[in-house]
Amino acid sequence: MPIIVNLDVMMARRKMSLTELSERVGITMANLSILKTGKAKAIRFETLEAICTVLDCQPADILEFAKEE
């Protein structure tokens, strides 16, 4: 998929674990794992907003568009 999720990169930068992020964002570990591994089909604005608030970043820091070769 041309949309790459850089959630693990941002989590590493903020030195935050998946468990802590899931608790602070308010979504399950399973859903966060789906998002992190790039298996998610879509992301709600409210989820994106909550992640950006907790990680103190912009949506572009988490999502990246890469052209398919």
Partner 1 sequence: MFASNTTRVGNTDDGMSFAIINNLKPITEHVSDSIPYYQHVRLQDSINQLRTLRNGDGPIAGSANYISLFGTQESNYCDTCTIRFSKGAWPSEFPIFDKPRKAYFMLMGWKIKPAKWPCDSVKFHVEHGQAYLRKQVADSTYKDKKGRIERIVRTYDIAVPFAYNRQFNCVTIPITASTKTMLDYVLTTISILGIIYFMFFILGGFIKFLLDVSRGQTFTVKNIRRLKVIGISLIVIEILNFLINLCMPLVFHAYFTADVVLDEKSWSGSWKGLVTGIAFLLLYKAFRSGKKIKEEQDLVI
Quote the CA–CA distance of 43 and 17 in Å, as a whole number: 20
Contacts with partner 1 by CB under 8 A lie at: 27, 31-32, 34-35, 39-44, 47
User: Cβ 64 to partner 1, closest distance in Å?
Assistant: 17
Q: Read off the amino acid at residue 23.
A: E
With respect to partner 1, which residue has the nearer C-beta, 9 or 38?
A: 38
Whole-number minimum distance, CB 63 to partner 1, in Å?
12
Neighbours of 11 (CB within 10 A): 20
Nearest approach, Cβ of 14 to partner 1 (angstroms)? 19
Closest CA to 63 of 27, 36, 34: 36
